[in-house]
Structure 1
């Protein structure tokens, strides 16, 4: 199953609006004879790839899958039936399918006399599929807020300079995060200060616009993105979000959203992105946009790159967020700390508040 989870992660950024899934086929003697993962939306599912690799050796064997085999016919046939037809004798899956249109695969397998067991490495499989599971359960994309700061929490110096706080290794790791995401979002402050490109570079499989994340600029007043901006090139698709009373000065694809306190309505923005098939958002905006997402209750995961440096002054990583006292602090559960070059990458998820 751990191998299946690793395989599933290969599909990050390429399968939406479908989940990422990995599958390993063991023959009757318990030897691995086939493996596969869901590589792109509309393409064969993980089980089909693995069964093709296993061939006749799948008969009498075990299928180990990160997600309950689907039970419906969409652009591809039901995987539960494919496993039955291949003569699989046992199925072990990590996470039950919460999608009402696809669930029921385990029941179909059991009805056919094939044991189907749930729960092996469920937490690990859920983590790799967090974007899709969030989409199904909450009806919005999963949001990862990424930031880079010094050890004293500064994202730029007092004079506004910020290149570079973190190392080349950390910046390369951010490109990996972009490639694994469906959309990358920044605000008008970042757009003005950095003229960012936002495409994933030097990441295997992310060289073409077809698998690049959607670049989204939250440009409330329609003045930050100007003709010639780097996000307007053809390296990746781009969407500019402006207030519904604004006419921007460019011809890029634009969505008009209602205003909210200090900017645009974040929940409406996420609804628009979800309707486009976006299941994972990488929020790379500055402290103001991050605060707006936090205030909207729309941050699921935080990835912070901390550089071994001190600035003493300059903007903090987060501004606002509706937090005014220590009891309102957003508590995080740290899932990973790892060295990236000289820097430290901390990954954490929000701890659910007790009611």
Structure 2
């Protein structure tokens, strides 16, 4: 259940990214053995002393250990085993420049409380709470006004992490897009933030998604020579030695074509180092073969519902996710693209980790 209150445990567990590069892992290239029962069983199977296995894996109590996998020395008996590939430390994120909108308390018709202000090019934004305690945000850009309902856990002035509005030219057409983020809830335990992130282009909503810990001020990050949008959520990830655990997983994608970057990074709960994940923890090993045409996309509560047409007829996928078939990576939680962004071509769909995923074709085929 989502709650705004963040426990002290959550603050202790949320990892912080570090810029320090870790030294080369001495275990790299050694043999890897998955799901060991006991050290004595592994030692007998491969003819390796228990003491050597314990030393290689940093195991102090040889009779009681909890490991998802073990590294073994490179000897003739282990030559057919796969090699252990350590996860590389992630490089620190570099943010791309954005223009924050400055908004202040204002008197606005129909609002019991309001915060309004202007942005680049004469744009105007207002956060309004009416006498029914309903909250809306109006954005006026290029002479067009877009009114959006806002789900905000606490009424708070502009300039906080609850509500942020910024501008940046995402598609390099000379006209900046507007990015709006609103913090809806924070869970107990790990303190997962749920933050709706909306991108407005030419006075219309372009797409939206849940950016998690990233705000409109911090979500535009540098990927190579480009600026992409980011999200961060807790997901279960299985480390080859430590086993499964929740990780704060960061995903990035190109907003101009919805191509998801292959590079996904994550930090294990309670640890401070972000690593490059060699796989997408939500994606299947191979993409599904079932194809369909997208008929409708809608937001129901906090999830995305996708209606598709298959050879067998219409099918509704509640709480679905979108993925990029060209990279095999999943788009952020709650991603709601425009129908034009999806295109009229065929998509693939299937379930992975108990989630319905609609896989968009490569940008050139949409």
TM-score (norm 2): 0.24
Name the structure where strand makes up a greater proportion of residues.
2
Name the structure where helix makes up a greater proportion of residues.
1
TM-score (norm 1): 0.25
